[in-house]
């Protein structure tokens, strides 16, 4: 609109779109552009190699995700005769909240039961991820714990697509999971393409790690600001949502566990914001063999013990692990009795 | 199908692979089919609108070219304008004006009983309508000749890289490229690559990351906001809309280069403008030139004295604002820019009368850029707000509440992290006065720049990939 007003050329004249004479002389040939493309591809290959060989150094969570096969193998190596084998499945709430040693000691002292526990607790996950983790690393490999304790809060068990389809591709899923992925997690071509790329590329599948690490270092108040941003976004998104949650994936997981002879315990964990069990979840518990253990309120755990506003500190961890053991004790005894009976039957045959 | 989606790039690879196996006519048939498919992916029902618009302007232009009677030519032109503007008015403005008229009549106690329709806005309707209209007007003016090939004209109207968000191409520039066989030039690959990489960076790293911040700020209840949060939110929106729209234009130009077409430049570092007039030489150039040639100059331009020039400026900018959508905020945005242009013209005329020479020191240029950037930001506040009253409240908050929060620090950090490198790059382009400076430096530096841009796209995508803002216009 320059000519509207003054009808004069700009102050700093831009060179015309055509190439200036001096530039023509220095204009690189076609081959140099292919060198550019090759160099950029080289950078991507380097990034990929870096991730494949040293990704676990970037984040503890990647190291944990990559150790899933070893955790499963450790569980498989636990002798059945040494007591009930317990797999704790959850996210960072379980990582910070559950101490398997305390859990074991309390059961031993109070109920005379011998248990062996192991934890699988990738960060920022929910049932969508736990479902595949259990199937891929335990059920399909024939590695079956006696008890599966799923630690949750609020809506962790509801049907929802995974927050991290890229991680599903990298760490949790195989091609056998395609039907479930298409049904629950990958809606449309874009999601499927992203999943395929994450399946092939470690750098693509873990790119959010770089993002978080860099932004944490470079941007002041990044975590606090993002928490506030998320809070506001969630409060806006939450307005008007009234539909009843579904639990079909939880039902599938429980059915799989039942087929595997694994007792599922749904452990409701304490968090600073109180939450209720909805009718759908109670119906799942009512209609299946899964047990609901309510540890939302644990005597002694106060708000101050959630060190970052969500996760339990060491003192709260001890109190929760004791409470969990006490409340799971009767179920674990039943499982141990059943195990003994079936072993006795097998011996008598 | 967004430019920043896997689907688009798969689509483009297929189209390009077929395209280079075909002769000229086959290429045009392929482009038309691909363009209609591309548009149909948004909403196939509105393909009929493009087809109708194409047929009308094709026939009208041929009628104008073959007619010797100026009266008949005028009639045909009026037919084209009425049908194009009629379609645009119905789909874009009917709901707004019906509601406003109803409100007005109710306030004076006269219920209007106007039918309220839930009309879906066809994507990119303003862009292709303006493009077809410019063709007919140019044929009427004798600025370009009417094409006899419906296929070529249909490709001109619906060419997929620029169909839904421009640049708004003129027939005199673009139609010959459709009609003539394309001659592949080696530099097209280089230039296309540069434009695509730059466009993806602007869209994914700058615009989409800013969108998350902006959407949250503008949706937060007023009582939860602080002044610095709003201020940084407005800055973020300035870079969101720039990254989004210029990113789209850049990718459109790059993809077109790879198909052998040269689209016009739509943005030239607009935030380095030193005055309102300079800003409109740099921002959405294809629209500002369209408004200049088909609205401002026909209204009389600056040839009829000061008062009428100001009137013409205000009318042009008000309609420019309305072009963006049926909302009072867009009209206010246009009015604000109209006032800026009029004010600047008045000031410049007085300075010129006083014999003052225009010599800008670096410091003064920087001060002018900063002032202009903030004036533009103020206009973006009007543009982005849901209502005028929200815009006023947010402006009040900026001036009265100075509470610094962790969210402000984080947003400012994100702004500097995402948009800072782009701003530095553009400062370098501005200094060199050449939009394609990066193509004239050693290939190793270019590799580093592309590597940085693409790694940023890979590692710093937004939480949710956003659609392009200007599709709605």
Q: Do B433 and A14 touch (CB under 8 A)?
A: yes
Alpha helices in chain A (DSSP H): 2-5, 21-26, 30-58, 60-66, 68-77, 92-97, 100-111, 127-134, 165-167, 178-180, 188-200, 202-205, 207-218, 222-238, 248-260, 279-287, 314-348
Q: How far is B177 from chain A (nearest CA, A)?
A: 16
Q: If you average pLDDT over residues B67-82, what whole number do you get?
A: 92
Residue B374 known to be catalytic: no
Are residues A91 and A122 in contact, defined by beta-carbon separation less than 8 angstroms? yes
Distance from CA of A178 to the nearest CA of B (A): 19
Mean pLDDT is lowest, of A204-213, B154-163, B316-325, B368-377, for A204-213
- pLDDT value at residue B394: 95
Task: Give percent of chain B above pLDDT 90.
Answer: 71
Q: Flag if A2 and B213 touch (Cβ within 8 Å).
A: no
Let me know: does B140 contact B40? Beta carbons within 8 Å: no
Report if residue A349 sits inside a domain.
yes
Section B261-274 average pLDDT: 94
- Match 């009808």 to its residue by tokens: A7
Candidate from B292, B444, B447 with C-beta closest to A3:
B292
Q: Are strands A147-152 and A115-120 parallel, antiparallel or unpaired?
A: unpaired
- What's the start-to-end Cα distance of chain A, in Å? 94
Element (H, E) at B336: helix B328-353
DSSP for B346-396 reads HHHHHHHHTT------HHHHHHHHHHHHHHHHHHHHHHHSSSHHHHHHHHH
- Supply the range of the domain harboring residue A279: 65-159+247-349
Local confidence pLDDT in tens for the 349 residues of chain A: 444 444 433 434 444 444 443 333 344 555 678 899 999 999 999 999 988 888 777 778 888 889 999 999 998 888 877 788 999 999 999 999 999 999 999 988 888 888 888 999 998 899 999 999 999 999 999 888 999 999 999 889 998 888 888 889 989 998 888 888 888 888 888 888 989 999 999 888 888 888 888 888 899 888 888 888 888 887 776 554 456 788 999 999 999 999 998 999 999 999 998 899 999 999 999 999 999 999 999 999 999 999 888 899 999 999 999 999 999 988 888 887 887 777 777 666 6
* Number of other CB atoms surrounding residue B184 within 10 Å: 10
Cβ–Cβ pairs < 8 A, chains A and B = 171
Q: pLDDT band at residue B152, thresholds of 50, 70 and 90?
A: very high
Contact flag B417-A3 (C-beta cutoff 8 Å)? no
Distance (Å, whole) CA B473 – CA B468: 10
CATH of the domain at A78: 3.40.50.1110
Burial (CB < 10 A; 0-12, 13-18, 19+), residue B368, is middle
Name the minimum distance, in Å, from the CA of A223 to any CA of chain B: 8
Facing residues of A118 across strands?
A: A87
Nearest CA to A265 out of A279, A250, A280 is that of A250
Tell me the per-residue pLDDT of B367-394, one tens digit each, with 9 for 90 and over: 999 999 999 999 999 999 999 999 999 9
Kindly determine whether residue B454 and residue A40, on different chains, have CB atoms separated by under 8 Å.
Answer: yes
> How many Å lie between the alpha carbon of A53 and the closest alpha carbon of chain B?
18
Expressed in angstroms, the distance from the first to the final Cα of chain B is 16
Q: Is A218's CB within 8 Å of B447's CB?
A: no
Do residues B119 and B82 lie in contact, with contact meaning Cβ atoms separated by under 8 Å? no
Complex prediction ipTM: 0.79
Helix and strand counts by DSSP (H, E) for chain B: 20, 0
Report the number of distinct structural domains present in chain A: 1
- Residues B286-306: pLDDT tens digits? 999 999 999 999 998 888 888
SS3 category, B118:
coil
A58 or B74, greater pLDDT: B74
Q: Which of A10, A36, A231 would you mutate first to test chain B, the one with the most B CBs within 10 A?
A: A36
Q: Which of B230, B293, B447 best probes binding to A when mutated, by most A CB atoms within 10 angstroms?
A: B447
Q: Are the Cβ atoms of A2 and B414 closer than 8 angstroms? A: no
User: What pLDDT does residue A10 have?
Assistant: 40
Phi-psi region of A119 (alpha: psi -120 to 50; beta: other; left: phi over 0): beta
DSSP state of A313: -
State how far the Cα of B254 lies from the Cα of B161, in Å rounded to an integer: 9
Residue B217, both tokens: 């700020």
Residue A101: inside a domain, yes or no?
A: yes
Regarding beta strands A291-294 and A147-152, do their DSSP bridges make them parallel or antiparallel, or are they unpaired?
Answer: unpaired
If one counts every other C-beta atom within 10 angstroms of the C-beta of residue A90, the result is 25
Q: Could you tell me the residue ranges of all domains in chain B?
A: 24-182, 188-274+360-472
Radius of gyration of chain A (CA): 26
Length of chain B: 473
A287 in a structural domain: yes
């Amino acid at each position: 609109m320059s000519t509207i007003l003054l009808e004069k050329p700009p102050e700093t004249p831009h060179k015309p779109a055509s190439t200036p004479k001096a530039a023509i002389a220095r204009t690189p040939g076609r081959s140099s552009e292919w060198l550019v493309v090759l160099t950029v591809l080289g950078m991507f290959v380097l990034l990929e190699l870096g991730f494949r060989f040293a990704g676990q150094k970037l984040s503890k969570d990647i190291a944990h995700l990559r150790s899933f096969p070893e955790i499963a193998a450790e569980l498989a190596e636990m002798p059945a005769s040494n007591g009930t084998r317990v797999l704790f499945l959850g996210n960072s709430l379980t990582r910070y909240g559950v101490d398997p040693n305390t859990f074991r000691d309390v059961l031993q002292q109070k109920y005379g039961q011998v248990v062996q526990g192991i934890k699988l607790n990738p960060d920022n996950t929910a049932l969508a991820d736990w479902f595949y983790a259990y199937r891929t690393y335990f059920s399909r490999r024939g590695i079956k714990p006696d008890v599966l304790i799923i630690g949750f809060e609020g809506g962790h068990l509801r049907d929802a697509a995974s927050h991290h389809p890229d991680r599903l591709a990298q760490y949790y899923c195989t091609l056998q999971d395609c039907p479930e992925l298409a049904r629950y997690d990958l809606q449309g071509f874009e999601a499927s393409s992203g999943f395929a790329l994450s399946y092939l590329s470690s750098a693509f599948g873990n790119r959010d790690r770089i993002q978080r690490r860099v932004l944490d270092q470079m941007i002041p108040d990044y975590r606090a600001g993002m928490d506030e941003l998320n809070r506001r976004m969630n409060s806006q998104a939450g307005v008007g949502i009234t539909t009843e949650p579904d639990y079909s994936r939880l039902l599938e997981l429980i059915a799989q566990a039942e087929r595997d002879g694994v007792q599922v315990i749904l452990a409701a964990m304490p968090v600073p914001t109180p939450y209720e069990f909805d009718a759908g979840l109670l119906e799942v518990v009512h209609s299946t063999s899964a047990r609901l253990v309510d540890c939302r309120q644990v005597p002694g755990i106060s708000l101050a013990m959630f060190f970052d506003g969500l996760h339990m500190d060491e003192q709260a961890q001890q109190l929760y692990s004791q409470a969990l053991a006490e409340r799971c004790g009767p179920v674990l005894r039943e499982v141990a009795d059943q195990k003994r009976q079936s072993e006795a039957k097998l011996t008598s045959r | 199908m967004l430019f920043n989606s896997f689907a688009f790039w798969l689509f483009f690879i297929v189209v390009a692979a077929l395209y280079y196996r075909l002769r000229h006519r086959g290429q045009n048939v392929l482009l038309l089919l691909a363009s209609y498919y591309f548009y149909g992916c948004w909403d196939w029902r509105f393909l009929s609108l493009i087809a109708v618009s194409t047929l009308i302007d094709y026939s009208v232009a041929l009628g104008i070219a073959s007619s010797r009677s100026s009266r008949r030519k005028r009639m045909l032109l009026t037919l084209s304008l009425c049908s194009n503007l009629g379609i645009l008015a119905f789909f874009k403005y009917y709901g707004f004006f019906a509601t406003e008229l109803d409100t007005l009549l109710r306030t004076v106690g006269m219920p209007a009983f106007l039918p309220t329709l839930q009309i879906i806005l066809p994507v990119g309707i303003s862009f292709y309508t303006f493009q077809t209209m410019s063709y007919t007007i140019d044929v009427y003016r004798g600025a370009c000749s009417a094409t006899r090939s419906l296929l070529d004209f249909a490709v001109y109207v619906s060419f997929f890289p620029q169909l839904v968000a421009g640049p708004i191409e003129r027939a005199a520039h673009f139609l010959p490229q459709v009609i003539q066989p394309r001659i592949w030039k080696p530099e097209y690959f280089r230039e296309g690559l540069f434009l695509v990489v730059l466009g993806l960076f602007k869209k994914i790293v700058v615009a989409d990351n800013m969108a998350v911040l902006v959407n949250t700020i503008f949706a937060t209840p007023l009582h939860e906001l602080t002044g610095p949060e709003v201020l940084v939110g407005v800055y973020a929106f300035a870079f969101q809309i720039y990254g989004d729209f210029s990113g789209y234009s850049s990718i459109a130009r790059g993809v077109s280069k790879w198909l052998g077409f040269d689209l016009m430049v739509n943005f030239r570092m607009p935030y380095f403008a030193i005055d309102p007039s300079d800003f409109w030489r740099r921002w959405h150039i294809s629209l500002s030139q369209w408004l200049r040639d088909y609205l401002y100059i026909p209204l009389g331009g600056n040839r009829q004295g000061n008062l009428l020039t100001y009137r013409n400026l205000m009318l042009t900018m008000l309609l420019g604002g309305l072009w963006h959508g049926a909302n009072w905020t867009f009209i206010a945005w246009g009015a604000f820019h109209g006032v800026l242009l009029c004010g600047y013209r008045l000031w410049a005329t007085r300075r010129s009368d006083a014999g003052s020479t225009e010599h800008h020191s670096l410091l003064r240029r920087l001060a002018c850029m900063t002032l202009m950037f903030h004036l533009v930001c103020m206009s973006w506040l009007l543009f982005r707000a849901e209502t005028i009253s929200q815009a006023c409240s947010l402006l009040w908050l900026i001036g009265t509440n100075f509470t610094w929060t962790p969210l402000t620090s984080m947003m400012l950090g994100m702004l500097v992290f995402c948009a800072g490198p782009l701003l530095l790059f553009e400062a370098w382009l501005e200094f060199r006065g050449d939009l394609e400076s990066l193509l004239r430096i050693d290939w190793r530096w270019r590799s580093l720049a592309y590597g940085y841009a693409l790694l940023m796209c890979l590692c710093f995508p937004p939480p949710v990939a956003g659609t392009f803002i200007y599709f709605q216009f």
